[in-house]
């Protein structure tokens, strides 16, 4: 399955169990990066519309660019009635948008799927002069609690291509060549989800690298997840902790 179709069978879990983004990160975009209520923002790899929704709540006009039909349909269903939202079938390297048509580009939990050279060329084409690009990830903490450490080991044991598709290999050093004039900056914010066992299972299955039902490793993985939850829960939940990483600059 290619990268543009990889989430097709995970949309329901993605909608229900993937995290949103911290208010502080959105405040930073509008107070420091320069986003405004009248900004035109292209959300590339918009997925099910989680980040688009937050931008719409701030009054901005959002163009959601997403190649996966199932995810785009979920975004449309979630954001129907939003007059300032437009859905486009396109990808980070080929958006189909007119040249110099957007003030900002955001890629939320998506840029690691793009061809970086192709995306940079497209970013330069569609951005207005002085426009900026924002790359944002909720980066799961790998250590700091027994739950986090055992969950990471679960993924290393059962993940089908975990190391290959994880965005953990993205750093400010690896991104810097794709931004101009040494403009790239990184700001970080804390965020967490409090998940009961059902939500934890859904969060696990929303990831592209976990074996789906029917795979021989699926049932053993779910059994081990249940053991992890029982051993590490407190008050019926576990803390799924993130560092929200916000990279931004000019291309």
pLDDT digits (tens, 9 = 90+) for 179-189: 998 899 999 99
CA 41 vs CA 2, 35, 49: distances in Å? 27, 9, 13
Q: How far apart are CA 45 and CA 43, in angstroms?
A: 6
Averaged pLDDT for residues 69-96: 94
The reported pLDDT for the residue numbered 101 is: 98
Give the residue extent of every domain in the chain: 8-141+165-192+242-249
Give yes or no for residue 210 having a pLDDT over 60: yes
Would you put residue 46 in left (φ > 0), alpha (ψ -120 to 50) or beta?
Answer: alpha
Q: Report whether pLDDT(7) > 60.
A: no
Largest interatomic CA distance in the chain = 54
Per-position DSSP letters for 13-49, written without gaps between them = HHHHHS----HHHHHHIIIII---TT-EEEEET-TTS
Residue 157: the pLDDT is: 94
Residue 10 CB-density burial (10 A; 0-12 exposed, 13-18 middle, 19+ buried)? buried
- In the DSSP assignment, the letter for residue 138 is E
5: pLDDT confidence band, cut at 50, 70 and 90?
Answer: very low
User: Shortest CA distance to 37 belongs to which of 62, 55, 60, 63?
Assistant: 60
Could you tell me the pLDDT band of residue 168, with boundaries at 50, 70 and 90? Answer: low
Q: Which phi and psi (to 5°) does residue 37 adopt?
A: -60, -30
By the 8 A CB rule, do 225 and 201 touch?
yes
Specify the fold of 8-141+165-192+242-249.
Rossmann fold (3.40.50)
Choose among 66, 29, 75, 72: nearest CA to 44. Answer: 66
| pLDDT level of residue 15 (50, 70, 90 thresholds) | confident
DSSP string computed for 172-220: HHHHGGGSSTT--EEEEEEEEEEE-HHHHHHHHHTSTTSPPTTSTTHHH
């Amino acid at each position: 399955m290619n990268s543009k179709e990889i989430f097709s069978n995970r949309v329901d879990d993605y909608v229900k169990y993937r995290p949103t983004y911290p208010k502080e990160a959105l405040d930073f975009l509008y107070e420091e990066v320069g986003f405004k209520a009248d900004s035109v923002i292209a959300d590339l790899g918009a997925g099910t519309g989680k980040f688009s929704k937050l931008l719409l709540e701030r009054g901005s006009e959002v163009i959601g660019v997403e190649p996966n039909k199932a995810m785009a349909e979920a975004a449309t269903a979630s954001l129907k009635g939003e007059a300032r939202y437009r859905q486009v079938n396109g990808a980070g390297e080929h958006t189909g948008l007119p040249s110099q048509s957007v003030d900002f580009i955001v890629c939320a939990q998506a840029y690691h799927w793009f061809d970086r050279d192709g995306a940079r060329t497209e970013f330069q084409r569609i951005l207005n002069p002085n426009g900026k690009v924002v790359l944002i990830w909720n980066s799961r903490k790998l250590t700091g609690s027994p739950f986090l450490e055992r969950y990471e080991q679960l993924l290393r044991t059962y993940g089908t291509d975990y190391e290959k598709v994880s965005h953990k290999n993205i750093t400010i050093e690896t991104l810097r060549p794709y931004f101009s004039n040494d403009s790239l900056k990184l700001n970080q914010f804390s965020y967490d989800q409090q998940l009961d066992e059902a939500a934890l299972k859904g969060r696990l299955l929303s990831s592209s690298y976990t074996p789906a039902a029917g795979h021989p490793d699926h049932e053993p993985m779910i059994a081990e997840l249940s053991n992890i939850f029982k051993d590490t829960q407190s008050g019926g939940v576990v803390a799924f902790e993130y560092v929200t990483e916000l990279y931004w600059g000019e291309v």
